[in-house]
Amino acid sequence: MKKNDVLLSQKPMLHEHVQLENTQLGAFTEIGMYNFIENTVMDDYSYSGQFCFIQNARIGKFSNIAAMVRIGPTDHPYERPSLHHFTYRQKMYGFSDRDDEAFFKQRASQITTIGHDTWIGHGAIIQPGVTVGDGAVVGSGAIVTKDVPPYAIVVGVPAKIIKYRFPQETIESLQRIQWWDWSFDTIKERMDDFNCDIWKFTDKHDRREESDDTTA
């Protein structure tokens, strides 16, 4: 199916060979082919490209996840005598009739958080427990080991901030507006505003939200 032929809806769209375990998908979400997603919540309008591997994550709305991205890669117990998973997948090898459930529980608790309106570039790796703030961009091939502030652009290994998308005043305005929480009808009504200059957008809608708050 060509990308232009895709029509999203309230029901998530799953492409071929997708495996989901303990995962919740919001409305208008799209999961690329050969994705494995486990213990994850992906909110409305977010999508992933092909061959993504996502574990133990909370992904906001309108997140753009390119192909071959790895979010929340699980660790081996490097403090033990052996790194090998026979030490916690003992049933697989016949060493015990049960696995190390405490280890699995601890590993699943390291939640990676991806904010709203984020862009995770091709082949990036986001480590367990990291938070990528709203509006942030992670460059292709980056390995993110530390939290990324809202609207920052990070690249490299390990990923470092090279700049911010907008001045701080604009970032604060966008965070007040929180357009990603607008309803479907509101976004549709204001669609032209998303194609205008950022300064016009924030000037119009920051004031609009302040006015709405006043009359509430």
Six-digit token pair at 172? Answer: 């604060």
Q: Tens digit of pLDDT for each residue in 21-63?
A: 999 999 999 999 999 999 999 999 999 999 999 999 999 999 9
Which amino acid, one-letter code, is at 200?
K
pLDDT score for 216? 37
Res 163 pLDDT > 90: yes
Q: Tens digit of pLDDT for each residue in 75-95?
A: 898 999 999 999 999 999 999
Q: How many CB atoms lie within 10 A of CB 116?
A: 24
Instruction: Pick 3-72+110-165's CATH classification: 2.40.50.100, 2.40.37.10, 2.160.10.10, 3.10.129.10.
Output: 2.160.10.10
Res 212 pLDDT > 80: no
Q: Looking at the whole model, is its pTM more than 0.95?
A: no
The catalytic residues are 76
39-53 in b/e form (b: 16+ CB < 10 A) is bbebbbbbbbbbbbb
The residue written with tokens 């895709």 in the block is: 6
Pairing of strands 64-65, 152-155: unpaired
* CB contact at 8 A, 77 and 60: no
Domain edges within the chain: 3-72+110-165, 166-216
Q: What angle do helix axes 168-177 and 198-215 make, rounded to 10 degrees?
A: 40
